[in-house]
Amino acid sequence: MYNRLIEFKNGSTEIEPGLAESWEVSPDGKTYTFHLRKGVKWQGSKLFKPTRDFNADDVVFSFERQRDPNHP
């Protein structure tokens, strides 16, 4: 299961914070600025031991991965 920057409230179209605790949209609607929660930890497993907290690099990586048509 993956967390999102922002989410919809259950049964509603109202947006609420997720991994982003707040955000702004530029007047022209083209730029979004997300303020990420601090202290968010990655979930570990037998195969993965997290060594750092979630940060903006992870968000950029995720967006770039989604844009790449060669990535599954």
pLDDT, one tens digit per residue, over 12-51 is 999 999 999 999 999 999 999 999 999 999 888 999 898 8
With respect to residue 51, please indicate whether it lies within any of the assigned structural domains: yes
Tracing tokens 């497993």 back to the chain, one arrives at 45
Q: What is the mean pLDDT of residues 48-64?
A: 92
With respect to residue 1, please indicate whether it lies within any of the assigned structural domains: no
With respect to residue 61, please indicate whether it lies within any of the assigned structural domains: yes
Structural domain span for residue 38: 6-67
With respect to residue 52, please indicate whether it lies within any of the assigned structural domains: yes
With respect to residue 18, please indicate whether it lies within any of the assigned structural domains: yes
- Taking the CA atoms of residue 41, residue 45, residue 47 and residue 53 in that order, the dihedral angle to the nearest 10 degrees is 0
Number of domains in the chain: 1
pTM exceeds 0.85, yes or no? no
Pairing of strands 20-25, 15-17: unpaired
